[in-house]
Amino acid sequence: MSPRQKQLALLAAIMGSFVAGLDSTVVNVALPSIRDDLGGGLAGQQWVSNAYLLTLGSLILVGGSFGDIFGERRVFSIGVGGFGAVSVLCAIAPTIEVLIAGRALQGVFGALLTPSALAVIASTFPPSERGAAIGSWTAWSGISFLVGPLIGGYLVDVASWRWIFAINVPFVIATLMIVAAAVPQAQGRRDVRVDWWGAVLTVFGLAGPVLALIRQPEAGWSSPQVWAVGLGGIALLGVFVWHEARTPMPMLPLGLFKRRNFTIANVETFCMYGGLGAVGFFNTLFLQQVAGYDALEAGLAQMPATLVMFFLSRHAGGLADRWGPRIFMGVGPLIAATGIALMLRVDADLGYWTDLLPALIIFALGLVATVTPLTATVLADADESNAGIASGVNNAVARVASLLCIAALGAVVAAQFSSSLDEQLGGRTSPAIERARTATLANVPGIPEVREASEHAYHVGIGVCAVLVALGGALGLAGIRNPRRDISCADCAEGAHSVQAPHSPYGREAAPARR
């Protein structure tokens, strides 16, 4: 394949993932306008956002499996085209119910295109170029999460919320044209049938925990809507594993988890993305509800971290190609954890340039060193025929980790806030204090105890995130191995004996590294 075709294939993967990432964030700023136009109240607003997350999280493993069986180009194209068609449905939705159904369908097609985008990269780029390509994909995917609220806010202000969906259409058409021109058609695996029982079990198994985590903030952990649904899903996932171990053609080959790097990388993904999701969540709440930033200011305040990732991710991927992933996946999270720990200095009167910005930059540098090698290691430790399901597993782990950590740490932070507030107030209460309790983090003029309790609760949540991310680094250092390959005697400079030369998981030789 020519360099031009490879770059066009990378562009198609980026554009497809960019549209899906954009839609996962852009809708949040439009929710008040959607409520005013279509009604539905708070429940309607929640489900406009959550319907997408539920189907995306539930089906992403199935989407990865379909990419391997039917060919990543075909499944990616169906995902992108379906996402665009359903975007039109969302844009013209006459009722809140139709919009929620459209958002659920967007999640279905997003689950097809997201893992297939990485599989397209894996099938297009040779191993020695794959890390840098994944770095570019990672950078642009991160940008989509940053610009989503900015684009959404602008379109809602100057036009209508309906344009946040309609704007997807030209990008989808351009992506499909590029796919047709540059991405080779894979035949898929004709010797493998769809594991329908595995698909059903994984869909409902993943849907249970995801739905429980979505409902937890409103219903509470004691509600059967949370614990019964969550435990039911976990039980189905257990049945799924039992089924996959016995069926002759499993959707998820469990042998993948016997591969050290694949398993360790996914556990590290859980730690990293759990901490990453919770840090973003708590920072956004604290900046707006305690430090007094408006929504746009809070988004702009965190932009430098995303820009660092955008400009450096490709370079990190190239370095990992050369030296192997172990040092990056070990030291990177430790640097990111240091940046998170520096956020413990942040309070309601924070100085942005001296308190928050340095912490965000260090945090972002750690993420740059980690995220691309992490994703590439997962793909490198799977066979070419399993690239889609490997990507699906990693995406599912990342998304569930973020939901789980936000829900669990949110409950911890809320409990710390209430406990600290009760201790300081000694039973004193007022309507303003009770409103602050429902917000979890707040700053009420004239009641400094609320601000102090919020600062304490925020620091507890941030501290746990730092420990979680550092744990990911420890796992990387202890568990990840830079794979080796055989070098024949004829290839040895001395020609005297056969050696094992360290190399990256993508095929390029590297200088010997300490283990």
Residue 218 pLDDT grade (very low, low, confident, very high; cuts 50, 70, 90): confident
**Mean pLDDT, rounded, of the chain:** 82
Domains of the chain: 1-183 (1.20.1250.20)
pLDDT at 186: 65
Averaged pLDDT, 371-384: 79
The more confident residue out of 36 and 217 is 36
Averaged pLDDT, 244-265: 87
pLDDT at 384: 64
With the C-alpha atoms ordered 167, 172, 178, 182, is the resulting torsion angle positive or negative?
A: positive
Q: What token pair was written down for 79?
A: 């995902």
- pLDDT tens-digit series, residues 231-249: 999 999 999 999 988 888 8
How many CB atoms are located within 10 Å of the residue 498 CB? Answer: 11
Averaged pLDDT, 102-121: 88
With the C-alpha atoms ordered 376, 473, 25, 95, is the resulting torsion angle positive or negative?
A: positive
20 has pLDDT over 60: yes
Distance (Å, rounded) from C-alpha 16 to C-alpha 22?
10
The more confident residue out of 430 and 329 is 329
- pLDDT tens-digit series, residues 431-480: 888 887 777 788 888 888 889 999 999 999 999 999 999 999 999 999 99
489 has pLDDT over 50: no
323 touches 510 (CB < 8 A): yes
Helices (H), 343-386: 357-380
Nearest to 439 by CA among 424, 418, 461: 418
Averaged pLDDT, 25-38: 79
The more confident residue out of 354 and 158 is 354
Rg of the chain over CA atoms, in angstroms?
23
pLDDT at 346: 94
Those residues whose C-beta lies under 8 Å from the C-beta of residue 344, and which sit 6 or more positions away, are 459, 462, 463, 466
The more confident residue out of 332 and 35 is 332
338 has pLDDT over 60: yes
515 has pLDDT over 60: no
Residue 43 pLDDT grade (very low, low, confident, very high; cuts 50, 70, 90): low
- For residue 395, the cross-strand partners are none
Lowest-pLDDT choice from 131-135, 192-196, 350-354 = 192-196
The secondary structure element, H or E, covering residue 459 is: helix 448-479
Distance (Å, rounded) from C-alpha 110 to C-alpha 81?
10
Averaged pLDDT, 142-151: 70
Q: Cα 510 from chain centroid? A: 30
pLDDT at 511: 38
508 has pLDDT over 70: no
How many CB atoms are located within 10 Å of the residue 238 CB? Answer: 12
Provide DSSP, 81-97.
HHHHHHHHHHHT-SSHH
The secondary structure element, H or E, covering residue 499 is: strand 499-502
Using a 10 angstrom Cβ sphere, with 0-12 exposed, 13-18 middle and 19 or more buried, the burial of residue 457 is buried
481 has pLDDT over 80: yes
Lowest-pLDDT choice from 45-59, 144-158, 420-434 = 144-158
The more confident residue out of 212 and 94 is 94
The more confident residue out of 260 and 184 is 260
Q: What is the pTM of this model?
A: 0.77
Nearest to 396 by CA among 254, 202, 245, 240: 202
486 has pLDDT over 70: no
With the C-alpha atoms ordered 388, 389, 390, 392, is the resulting torsion angle positive or negative?
A: positive
Averaged pLDDT, 337-357: 94
- For residue 500, the cross-strand partners are 486
Averaged pLDDT, 482-509: 41
- pLDDT tens-digit series, residues 68-90: 788 888 889 999 999 999 999 99
pLDDT at 242: 94
Averaged pLDDT, 29-39: 81
Residue 269 pLDDT grade (very low, low, confident, very high; cuts 50, 70, 90): very high
- pLDDT tens-digit series, residues 273-316: 899 888 988 887 888 888 988 767 777 888 888 788 878 887 88
Q: Cα 372 from chain centroid? A: 12
pLDDT at 340: 96
Number of helices (H) and strands (E) in the chain: give both, helices first: 18, 2
